[in-house]
Amino acid sequence: MAQEPNGEAPARARSPILFVALGVVLAGTLLAVAAGRLDPVTGAVVAGAAGLVLAWRGAVAFRIAEQVRHRSVATRKVFEASESVLSSLDVGHVLRTAAETGARLSWHAGAALLFLADDVQQLRLRSSWGLDPAPAEGARILALEPIIAEAARTRRVALTAVRGSQPARDDPSATFRSACALPLQSEAGMVGVLVLLSQKPPEAFREELSLLEYYARQAAMAIDNARLYQQVKDLFESSIRSLADAVDAKDAYTHGHSEDLADLVTMIAREMRLPPREEEKIRWAGLLHDVGKIGIPDAILRKPGKLDPAERAIMMTHATLGAAILDKPGPLQDLVGIVRHHHEWFDGRGYPDGLRGNQIPIGAAILTAADAFDAMTSHRAYHTARGVDVALTELRTHAGTQFNPDVVNALTRVIQRERAAQTPWYATLERRIANPAGGQAPAQEAAMTLTEADLVLRVAQEIRDIGDFSRLLQRTVEVAADIVRTPDCALWLINGQADTMIAEAAVGTSVTVGTETSRTRTPMWRALEQKAAQRDDGGGVIFVPLLTAGKAIGVLQATGSNLGDSEARRLSLVADSIAPVVQAARLRQQAERDARIDAVTGLLSRRSFSDALREQALRHRQWGRPLALTLGEVHDLSLFNATYGYAAGNDLLKRIAELVRDASDGAHILGRVGGGVFAILMPETDKTSADRTLRGLQETMAGREVAIKGQFMPVLPMRWTLATAPPDSNEGDALLGVAERRLLRAAELPERPI
């Protein structure tokens, strides 16, 4: 049996023997007294002593058993809690679950408050559980602000007693005696703080700290994942919306039509209880259902009267053209069937394929009815808007022929409910019907919209094929300057900390690329914070925010002596068009960098290291030059993470990477190919030289101490293996496989110090 800490295993092994021995002594003493061979007084003393020892050992055994049971229950609870909070990618659900599960995980906490860091790293209340009344999102809890700030600053758990006297009536923490603030920190940084409230004193939390800290790390990971997923989703939807706006801008009479239609089809899909994923697809299709009109000539698209047969035939191609545009690998491919068939009729007399009944995708059937309702209640050049009841009657009249009856019934229920509640959506609908001027644009306004559409299309054409991020930004600024007719234009982007902006691209002399500006009360920062265009005091500089999914990512600046409202409008249009493209390119650049470089150590990632290994192996085969590969694995890294936390584990890996880099030759290629596995590729190095290098590296690592979270700790032992070409393999992937198999076998051997 392996030796355990404090000799617990031998102690447990001796316990049964001791119980038996004491039992024998007690029984023998009683029998001796009964047989008269032992004085009763002496027997009573011996029996009493044995009984007391037995009782004491029994109590100790019971306490140990209870501790083991308690630890087992606690372990099960924390794993169940972690699984619960990691089970969703919906930000709202994750935040609610994190607060509730955190409070329930504690044996005595009765409530929880979750504060999340925003773009400027300010902590704001985002979720709560167990409080009545529940505080509003963003509310300040004055009594808890010091402990929240301490936990966020030190990245450590903070405990405090909540004031016994009743504070403000709207302070929910007033009914609790203590609070435990758990910092929520992921690899990406500080996520927020989870505060647990209890009726017991602060010391009651101490026995649970390891349990709660583990849960806090899992909760931070879940929140980080959900927020990242939401950012990607918002960016995707913003790109869809920008494309829909570009399509709508081609026709002054249908501007905003796609957004209105998307709202209506979403409500219908929800009324029909379709799955959330199907509802989302239908909304996207509502935004992009007319994307094929990009290929329809403007003369046909903007014709004020009815189309002749030839023109109608051309117009009808927009459904198949739109489907063809979307029919590319990616998430938009799911919309192809809905967009292609949104002009099919229930009785089979529609186009382009003459589908009927249930052959028509339900999303397309919803889009058909909603599109007809939206068209009937809108003012067009060839008809005035009809009233809501008239439009509904028309839909019901053609239910079963043109429209799916189930969809018409659902649409009717939606309209009736929205009207009864007088929702903002229905109020907007009534205003649109009552205002003919809103739908019949005069020639001058139509010409302006045509100009805007041309600008949008030009911007898209100019930057769509640029792959390099810096070149894309520079070309974007050049196009913006040309459109606004100014010699000076610059594009600023927020850096990672959201407290500075950097000029990433510029033309003219007003701004130098690379200039950095801190957050101040200037028009530039006001444009960012207020998400609206701003001018400087002299009026010669315009700042327009770059918005994507409602979030400001930077500012587009134009400088000139004759910048009026028309130029400001053009600059805003360009900003709206380029913001999703810039953000997508920025995320793609970051993703490509993350794929090349390991975020923790700064060494090559496994994929990049494998590419370099294949390249060097090819040179070996061509020129016969030797090649060596060594792998080193950090021993007991998982135990280190469990003891000190993942942040400390990442610090350890960073320090080891620095040691490996310092001990390696400049010609060596370094990477991290696994959790705690480092790789060194040594081109033109034979086995003898590689062995010498490996011994030097082992000597460098042995006995070294590094600073981890402000404390000096010894570097964990490492296992090392070596593979060379020749003789192990001439192929890069095979050589890596040989080294990894040797590393695995080394892990199975008895431990030896390096």
pLDDT at residue 453 tops 80: no
> Which class for 576: exposed (0-12), middle (13-18), buried (19 or more C-beta within 10 A)?
buried
Dihedral angle, C-alpha 309, 315, 316, 321, nearest 10 °: 150
pLDDT in tens, 336-387: 899 999 999 999 988 888 898 999 999 999 999 999 998 888 876 556 778 8
Percent of the chain with pLDDT over 70: 74
pLDDT in tens, 612-626: 898 888 888 888 888
CA distance 716 to 461: 55
CA distance 643 to 267: 50
Q: What is the pLDDT of residue 550?
A: 66
- Name the token pair of 362: 């339900």
From 443, 420, 441, 423, select the one nearest 431 (Cα to Cα).
423
> Which class for 436: exposed (0-12), middle (13-18), buried (19 or more C-beta within 10 A)?
exposed
pLDDT at residue 229 tops 90: no
Percent of the chain with pLDDT over 90: 13
pLDDT in tens, 702-733: 878 877 766 788 888 888 899 998 888 888 88
Contact 532/525 with Cβ under 8 angstroms? no
Q: What is the pLDDT of residue 407?
A: 95
**Average pLDDT, integer, range 464-485:** 77
CA distance 38 to 41: 9
> What are the φ and ψ backbone dihedral angles of 616, each rounded to 5 degrees?
-70, -35
Q: What is the pTM of this model?
A: 0.45
pLDDT at residue 37 tops 70: no
Q: How far is CA 178 from CA 163, 166, 195, 204, in A?
A: 8, 14, 10, 9
pLDDT at residue 517 tops 80: yes
